[in-house]
Amino acid sequence: MTTQPTVSVVIPYYDQPEFLRDAVESVIAQTYPNVEIIVVDDCSPGVNAIQLLRGLRHPKLLVFKLENRKGVSVARNAGIIRSSGDYILPLDADDLLDPQYVSETVKALIDSNDAGVCTAIRTFGNADSIINPELDIAQILSRGTICNTFLYRREVFDAVDGYREGLAVDQERQFLLDALQKGFTFKQIKQPLYFRRQHAGNAEQSCLEDRYKDLVERNINLYKQYLPQILGLQKVRVQELTVARVRLSRDFQKLAIDDKRLKRGLTNVMSYYHDLEHDALKTEATVGQL
């Protein structure tokens, strides 16, 4: 019987004690039999990862702590270097996997020439939506949604020298760009098997603008190369937003009309009520005179 390839799920952890255990339990619940779990505590304050995960049972669960806080890229790289899997699966400490995630992505990858595979994203928490992430350079450069959790072959990590360790944000986006420039290809499963949590800790719009500026500066030559495609994508998005704004305006107008109708209806009902009340008083007075 052929041994199924080992999948190493690597979870960097920093100061999210309310979420970490759920993330690890979602990995333990995988139907795929050959998974190792590596949790890297990036010198988190308060309760450490070992304490948070106490009592969990898994034959290949490794939890270790860095001596000093180094950032998510260093923590993720450290976990992958310690791992033994043929395939790597990064997972944020506040996110979750469907029990079929590893089985379905391994099945999709094992018989293909692609270097990695992601699934559609299901957001939960402060938002509830399904998103299909982007996997080509122009879309990624133009701020298309990416999937920070995806299964990929170990040789991808080796070829790009891991996640860039000088970055405070957008490490996964840069990793994808670095891999795509090396000629690796990725594909997507349309099932939403990865659950991305939306909560108060997610980046605000002002932070996203700064991130985009940094992304451009880091990849300026790449932007120049793909500028026509990026401008084309931005034009399409502007057109889509224009159509959406027109539809929204029509919806508001319809609501305003419906609101006026409702108010008129309410006025008629109240008038009818007063008429009935008046008739009742007249009837009562008449009866009293009999």
CATH topology classification for 7-218: Spore Coat Polysaccharide Biosynthesis Protein SpsA; Chain A (3.90.550)
**Residue 160 per-residue DSSP state:** T
Q: What is the pLDDT of residue 210?
A: 74
Q: What backbone torsions phi and psi does residue 32 show, to the nearest 5 degrees? A: -70, 130
Predicted model pTM? 0.81
* Class of residue 100 by CB neighbours under 10 A (exposed 0-12, middle 13-18, buried 19+): middle
Q: Which of 6, 9, 5 is nearest to 61 (CA)?
A: 9
Burial 131-152 (b: 16+ CB within 10 A, else e): bebbbebbbbbbbbebbbbbbb
- pLDDT, one tens digit per residue, over 243-254 is 777 777 777 777
Going by C-alpha positions, the residue among 59, 56, 24, 55 that lies closest to residue 40 is: 24
Average pLDDT over residues 220-245: 83
184-207 average pLDDT score? 82
Counting Cα atoms < 13 Å in the Cβ hemisphere of 252 gives: 6
Alpha helices by DSSP H, the chain: 20-28, 49-52, 72-82, 101-110, 137-141, 154-159, 171-181, 205-218, 220-289
Give the model confidence (pLDDT) of 172-187 as tens digits: 999 999 999 999 999 9
